[in-house]
Amino acid sequence: MTQRNKTAVIGGGMAGCAAAKELLKSGVDVVVYEASPGLGGRARSWHRAEIEPDVGVNLWFTSFYRIMFDRIREYGLEDQLVDMSNNVIVVDDGTPAELLSDSLRSLFRYPHVPLRDRIRFLTATAKETLRRRQLDIFDPLKLAPFDDGTTAAQYGRKILSRRGFDSLLRPEIESFWLWSCEEISAAHVRAMQAQVAGAKFYVFLNGMEVIAERNAEGADIRLEHEVTNLQMDGDGVLVSARDAGGTVSEERFDDVVVATTAPVAAKLTAALPTGTVSQDIREFLESQRYEPALSVSYLVDYSSMPSEAHIVAAGADDPPVKTIITFPRQVRDEEGRPVDKHLAFVYPGRAATRRLLGLPAEEQFAETSRLVTRLWPDFPADAEPFQIAERPHAMPVPEPGRYRRSARVIRQQRGPVVFAGDYFTSPISEAAMLSGMRAAEALTAVSR
Ligand SMILES: Cc1cc2nc3c(=O)[nH]c(=O)nc-3n(C[C@H](O)[C@H](O)[C@H](O)COP(=O)(O)OP(=O)(O)OC[C@H]3O[C@@H](n4cnc5c(N)ncnc54)[C@H](O)[C@@H]3O)c2cc1C
């Protein structure tokens, strides 16, 4: 039995930093390699001094995120929480209607689907809510038994009419995650239904990355260090990393947590022996698909848009624009006085996103401005283009059967190389943290 003292965490996102915290707690020395200039990965916001608060894309979390709330209490971050209203507006053929997850009244008044579907939706939600503990949206070990090969669309059409599904359940899923319900496991939708009733929504005043940063405190954090190669060295692993200046350095570790997206993880570990990364794990990593995301933001006059709103498209088609999210912000006028505005984030649909990724920002703004009125006809013509965030690997797709495969891989994980990331479950920061904690546990639970 050997004491394993030194672990490299590759990727300083929510998963990697959560893993770092657990490893540090068990007395291991941790080095976090992060390719970008800051921690937080996809949960990291961008910051611009001319808006207040200065955060751009600000990720939501809900009252049912358990690890997140434990950390908030542990780090005394309660004063960083900002309540957000859950103001979902579903637009069907140009007609908007409110649909709030915490209001029965809004469900019963919802005009886009027949009353029979609203009652069936309520009954199905109540049924899943009773299974809340098992239908845990963050945990593939619990979700695996529900992942029976059925797609979300098949499930939705079983409990609702076609119209009921396309204008009630589908927009609630597709506008938040951008996938098509035809491509994802019914287990994801059922878990969402089980958790969301009555949930409260929050953002962090200065961005969610604060949790990643606090989790990694105590580790040796190497920002702008991209890991380029992993190689076995006896029973340890040699990690090669390139810094911002292009210098490549090598260091030996007892163990490694690979906490990047799945394609990067597959590439970095492709040459390791199958005794270290099994064929099953390798195939799992290589088979993960991601939906890309393009977030195109504008500053608009406060009164021109509903506030703290998720404006989403109804219907089965992939629309030109899927979602608009509005966050209140202040900017300074010429005299330095604060003026209320909205930062409106526009998410083009799946096909439009693929078409626009990688184009120059002016073209992305021009095309999005042209498309956005198809979802929200009153989107102000004088909206001021502000910032674009591109994520080619945004949302890992929970294909039918994926939770069962994740659960199998989690049970197989053992050192010196383990994996963590939201592709084990869903693109949710809480799920990413849980996967990081599990990866750390796989290294520390057994002395090897
Ligand atoms: C548009 C969008 C909106 C979202 N909204 C929400 C939301 O509202 N609420 C919510 O809870 N979740 C949301 N999510 C999901 C959430 O952001 C992710 O699930 C979570 O951040 C994933 O964390 P991760 O650690 O698994 O991966 P990542 O965040 O991708 O972290 C991986 C890290 O590895 C680094 N890396 C990659 N390659 C290397 C290398 N070779 N060497 C070193 N470092 C490397 C990357 O730079 C990155 O920092 C959203 C995601 C997107 C894309």
Local confidence pLDDT in tens for the 448 residues of the chain: 456 799 999 999 999 999 999 999 999 999 999 999 999 999 999 999 999 999 998 899 999 999 999 999 999 999 999 998 878 999 998 999 999 877 888 889 999 999 999 999 999 999 999 999 999 999 999 999 999 999 999 999 999 999 999 999 999 899 888 999 999 999 999 999 999 888 899 999 999 999 999 999 999 999 999 999 999 999 999 999 999 999 999 999 999 999 999 999 999 999 999 999 999 999 999 999 999 999 999 999 999 999 999 999 999 999 999 999 999 999 998 899 999 999 999 999 999 999 999 999 999 999 999 999 999 999 999 999 999 999 999 999 999 999 999 999 999 999 999 999 999 999 999 999 999 999 999 999 854 4
For residue 422, the CA-to-ligand 1 centroid distance in Å is 8
- Residue 431 alpha carbon to ligand 1 centre in Å: 11
The three-state secondary structure class of 134 is coil
Quote the CA–CA distance of 371 and 377 in Å, as a whole number. 10
Looking at residue 87, what is its pLDDT? Answer: 86
Alpha-carbon distance 73 to 174, whole Å? 32
* Collapsed DSSP state (helix, strand, coil) of residue 34: strand
Q: Residue 61 Cα, ligand 1 centroid: separation in angstroms?
A: 14
Kindly report the protein residue whose alpha carbon is nearest to atom 5 of ligand 1: 59
- Extract the tokens encoding 204: 């962090």
Q: How far is ligand 1, taken at its centre, from the CA of residue 10, in Å?
A: 13
CB atoms within 10 A of CB 156: 23
Question: What amino acid is encoded at 192 in this protein?
Answer: M
Q: Which amino acid is at 130?
A: L
In the prediction, which pLDDT does 70 show? 98
User: Ligand 1: residues whose CB is within 6 Å?
Assistant: 10-16, 33-36, 41-43, 59-61, 226-227, 259-261, 264, 293, 295, 391, 394-395, 421-422, 427-430, 432
In terms of phi and psi (left: phi > 0; alpha: psi -120 to 50; beta: otherwise), the region of 112 is: alpha
Residue 165 DSSP symbol: I
Ligand 1, atom 12, lies closest to the CA of 428
Taking CA atoms only, the protein residue closest to ligand 1 atom 4 is: 59
> Cα of 57 to ligand 1 centre, how many Å?
13
Bond prior to 53 in cis (omega within 30° of 0): yes
Residue 243 near residue 223, CB atoms below 8 Å: no
Separation of 301 CA from ligand 1 center, angstroms? 31
Nearest CA to ligand 1 atom 32: 260
Smallest CA separation from ligand 1 atom 33, residue: 11
Structure tokens at 397: 């797709």
Q: Ligand 1 center to residue 281 CA distance, Å?
A: 20
The pLDDT value given to residue 1 = 45
d(CA 226, CA 66): 31
